[in-house]
C-alpha cells in the first residue's frame, strides 16, 4: 500500500481555508501515487477548537465541511482526516431568540467525538472516534468531547468498489491490510485502563494509522517513537480472527504550525512492522510525501539536534504563525541592550522579516550609554527598524506630577522604578498604536516565575516570545544564533543582567544556580541538591506571589512540558 502522509498547517475556525489545504494535500499525495491519504487530528476545524465547539453554528458548519470534502475528493484515493462527529448524546433546543450555543453545564456527556473520518467515493464511509481523552496540561478534551466506544478496524477499501485511476486492485493489497485508526492520545495509552492500539491489533489490524496534533517540546519525538513502537509489538490473543497479533506497520501524521501558545512540529513518520523508519517528514514545515509499505525502503531519523536548534525553529514558527493567522503585519519591541530583548529581536526578524520589525530604545537617566549603542548595532546587523525615544522628559514629568506621593520614600521603595517601567510600556504602545501590529514581550521564564517584572510595564505585550525559556536558556539560544559572527554585540552577551531602573542596578539573582531550581518547582521535578530548604521555601513563596501577574501576561509560546498558560491553572487566592 502506498500511503500519503499529509503534514499540514491549519487555522482554528477557518473551515474553508482548512478544507482547501486538505484538498490540495490529498490531491498532491494522489498525484504522487498514494492509495490512502492521512491528515492530522482535527484538520477540518483546526486544533484546538476549544469553546468554538460550544457554538451550534460552528459545529454544523464543520460537519457540513467534512461531507463536502468527501464529495470534492470523490475521484481520488480514500482519505483519513481528523474532524468532529456527533455522539448519540441528548442535545437541547435553544430558547427562542437565544444564541445557538450548548448551555454550559448541560446534563450528560458532551455531544461530540474527536474523530477520524474515512472519506471514500464521495461519502463519509466510516468514522472512528477518539477513545482516550487527555485532561492534563494544555489538553482539556473531556470539556468538549465524549470518549468513543471501541470499534473494529477499517477495512480498506471500506466496501467493494472499482479501483480509481492509479490505484492497485482493491481485492489484493488494500483489502489485505485492515487499518487500525488511532487519534493522538489513543497511541499514548500507558497509564490508561484501555489500550486502543492493542484492541485494534487483536481484531486483525495490520496497519496502525495515528492522526495527531502533538505539540512541540524538546525531546518529544523520542516519546512519540516509544509509544509507536510499543503499539506495534506482537500481542497474544485468544480471540478470533487471529491466534496472535503479529507486529504491525504504523503511520503517524502530526500537525504542523502554531496556534496561540501551541507550536506543532510535524515530524510525521512511517515505521515498518519491526519499528524501523521508512519515511520521516521534516520538522516545523508543511510536507506531503508517500511511503510504499509493499516495497519498503528503510531510512533513518535525523540525528538528535542541540536543544537550541529546535527551540529556535519552534519560536520562529510560533511568532510567524501567530502573526499570519491573526493578520498581523508588524511587530514592535523594546530593545534595551540586554540579552532578553536582543534574543526576541533576532527571532522576530527571522520570523517576520526585518522590514516588519521595529525596535525602540528607551534610554533613561540610569541607562548605560553602551546599552543604546549596542541596541542600535544589533538592529543594524538584523536590518530591522530602530528608533530612540529618550525617557527623561516623561520621567521628569512623572516625578513632578507625583511629587507628593514620592516624597519621603523609604529605603528599598520601588515606586519610581515601576513608574519608569510603565512609562517605557506607554511609549511602546504609542508607537504600536501609530504603526499597527503587535507588541512582543521580552520577559523570560525565570523572571515570570519569580515575579521579577513590572505589571503594565515590562510585562506588557501580546506575545511573550521567550516566556518558556529560563535565563540560562536565553543566553544559550542567543549564543547559538550569534554563532560567533558578532551579530549580537559582545557587550549584550557578556554584561550582568540589569533592568537599568536605577544607577548601577544588577539583577538580584545568580541565574545559573537559581533558574534550574525555579524551573524544577514549576515542572514538579526534584530540586537540585545544592538548594537549601530555606531557598526552596522562598522560591515557592515568590512563585505563588507572582501568580496574579502571570494571569495578566501575554500569550507564552510553549516549548516545555509545563509552561505558563492554559496548561498551568493555579489559583491566585490560595492558602
Binding-site annotation: residue ranges: 136, 214, 334-341, 418, 442, 447, 549
Distances from the Cα of 108 to the Cα of 87, 105, 261, 295, 523, angstroms? 12, 9, 31, 49, 34
Is 6 noted as a catalytic residue in this protein?
Answer: no
Catalytic-role residue among 6, 130, 156, 464: 130
3-state secondary structure of 264: strand
Q: Which residues are annotated as a binding site for ATP?
A: 334-341, 442
Q: Is the separation of the CB atoms in 102 and 91 below 8 Å?
A: yes
Q: Which residues are annotated as a binding site for L-glutamine?
A: 136, 214
Sheet containing 287-292: give its strands across: 123-129, 112-120, 79-86, 36-38, 2-7, 287-292
Nearest-CA neighbor of 555 among 333, 299, 319?
319
Q: What is the DSSP string of 528-543?
A: PTT--HHHHHHHHHHH
Q: Decide: 121 and 110 in contact? Cβ < 8 Å.
A: no
Inter-axis angle of helices 339-352 and 369-382, to 10 degrees?
Answer: 20
State the DSSP string of 144-181: TBPPPPP-PPBPSSSS--PPPTTPPPIIIIITT--EEE
Coil vs helix vs strand at 6 = strand
Torsion over CA: 554, 555, 558, 562 (sign): positive
Radius of gyration of the CA atoms of the chain, in A: 27
| CB proximity list for 34: less than 8 A, separation 6 or greater | 2, 3, 4, 77, 290
Closest of 329, 338, 389, 384 to residue 358, by C-alpha: 384
CA neighbours within 13 Å on the CB side: how many for 25? 32
Whose grid coordinates read 521508512? 278
Is 130 assigned a catalytic role? yes
Q: Which of 41, 141, 261, 289 is catalytic?
A: 41
Does the annotation mark 346 as catalytic? Answer: no
Cite the annotated binding site for deamido-NAD(+) by residue number: 418, 447, 549
- Closest Cα partner for 145 from 158, 155, 159, 131? 131
Active centre residues (catalytic)? 41, 130, 184
Amino acid at each position: 500500500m502506498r500511503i500519503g502522509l499529509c503534514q499540514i498547517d491549519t487555522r482554528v475556525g477557518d473551515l474553508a481555508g482548512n478544507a482547501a489545504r486538505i484538498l490540495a494535500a490529498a490531491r498532491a499525495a494522489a498525484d504522487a501515487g498514494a492509495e490512502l491519504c492521512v491528515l492530522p487530528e482535527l484538520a477540518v476545524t483546526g486544533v484546538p477548537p476549544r469553546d468554538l465547539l460550544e457554538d451550534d453554528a460552528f459545529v454544523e458548519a464543520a460537519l457540513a465541511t467534512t461531507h463536502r470534502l468527501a464529495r470534492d475528493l470523490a475521484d481520488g484515493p480514500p482519505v483519513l482526516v481528523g474532524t468532529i462527529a456527533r455522539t448519540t448524546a441528548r442535545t437541547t433546543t435553544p430558547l427562542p431568540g437565544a444564541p445557538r450555543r450548548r448551555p454550559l453545564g448541560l446534563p450528560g456527556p458532551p455531544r461530540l467525538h474527536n474523530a477520524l473520518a474515512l472519506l471514500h467515493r464521495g461519502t463519509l464511509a466510516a468514522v472512528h472516534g477518539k477513545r482516550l481523552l487527555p485532561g492534563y496540561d494544555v489538553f482539556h478534551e473531556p470539556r468538549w468531547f465524549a470518549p468513543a466506544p471501541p470499534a473494529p478496524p477499517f477495512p480498506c477499501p471500506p466496501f467493494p468498489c472499482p479501483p480509481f485511476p492509479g490505484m492497485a486492485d482493491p481485492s489484493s493489497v488494500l483489502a489485505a491490510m485492515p487499518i487500525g485508526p488511532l487519534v493522538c492520545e489513543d497511541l499514548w495509552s500507558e497509564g490508561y485502563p484501555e489500550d486502543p492500539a492493542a484492541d485494534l491489533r487483536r481484531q486483525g489490524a495490520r496497519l496502525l494509522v495515528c492522526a495527531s496534533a502533538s505539540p512541540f517540546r524538546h525531546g518529544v519525538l523520542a516519546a512519540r517513537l516509544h509509544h509507536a513502537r510499543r503499539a506495534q509489538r506482537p500481542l497474544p490473543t485468544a480471540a478470533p480472527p487471529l491466534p496472535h497479533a503479529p507486529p504491525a506497520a504504523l503511520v503517524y501524521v502530526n500537525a504542523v504550525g502554531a496556534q496561540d501558545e501551541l507550536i506543532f512540529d510535524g515530524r510525521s513518520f512511517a515505521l515498518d512492522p519491526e519499528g524501523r523508519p521508512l519515511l520521516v517528514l521534516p520538522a516545523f514545515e508543511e510536507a506531503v510525501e508517500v511511503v510504499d509499505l509493499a516495497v519498503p525502503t528503510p531510512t533513518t531519523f535525523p540525528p538528535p539536534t542541540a536543544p537550541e536548534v529546535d527551540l529556535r525553529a519552534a519560536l520562529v514558527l510560533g511568532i510567524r504563525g501567530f502573526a499570519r493567522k491573526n493578520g498581523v503585519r508588524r511587530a514592535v519591541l523594546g530593545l534595551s541592550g540586554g540579552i532578553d530583548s536582543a534574543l526576541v529581536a533576532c527571532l522576530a526578524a527571522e520570523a517576520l522579516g526585518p522590514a516588519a520589525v521595529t525596535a525602540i530604545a528607551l534610554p533613561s537617566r540610569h541607562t548605560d550609554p553602551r546599552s543604546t549603542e549596542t541596541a542600535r548595532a544589533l538592529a543594524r546587523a538584523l536590518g530591522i527598524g530602530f528608533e530612540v525615544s529618550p525617557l527623561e522628559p516623561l520621567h521628569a514629568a512623572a516625578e513632578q506630577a507625583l511629587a507628593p506621593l514620592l516624597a519621603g520614600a523609604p529605603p528599598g521603595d520601588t515606586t519610581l522604578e515601576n513608574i519608569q517601567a510603565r512609562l517605557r510600556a506607554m511609549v511602546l504602545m504609542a508607537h504600536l498604536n501609530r504603526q499597527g501590529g503587535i507588541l512582543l514581550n521580552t520577559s523570560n521564564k525565570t523572571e515570570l516565575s519569580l515575579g521579577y517584572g513590572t505589571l503594565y510595564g515590562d510585562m506588557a505585550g501580546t506575545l511573550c516570545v521567550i516566556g518558556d525559556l529560563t535565563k540560562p536558556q536565553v543566553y544559550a539560544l542567543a549564543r547559538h544564533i550569534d554563532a560567533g559572527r558578532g551579530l549580537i554585540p559582545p557587550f549584550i552577551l557578556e554584561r550582568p543582567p540589569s533592568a537599568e531602573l536605577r544607577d548601577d542596578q544588577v539583577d538580584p539573582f545568580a541565574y545559573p544556580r537559581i533558574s534550574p531550581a525555579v524551573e524544577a518547582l514549576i515542572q514538579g521535578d526534584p530540586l537540585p541538591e545544592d538548594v537549601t530548604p530555606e531557598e526552596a521555601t522562598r522560591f515557592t513563596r515568590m512563585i505563588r506571589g507572582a501568580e496574579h501577574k502571570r494571569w495578566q501576561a501575554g500569550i507564552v509560546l510553549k516549548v516545555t512540558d509545563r509552561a505558563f498558560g492554559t496548561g498551568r491553572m493555579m489559583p491566585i487566592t490560595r492558602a
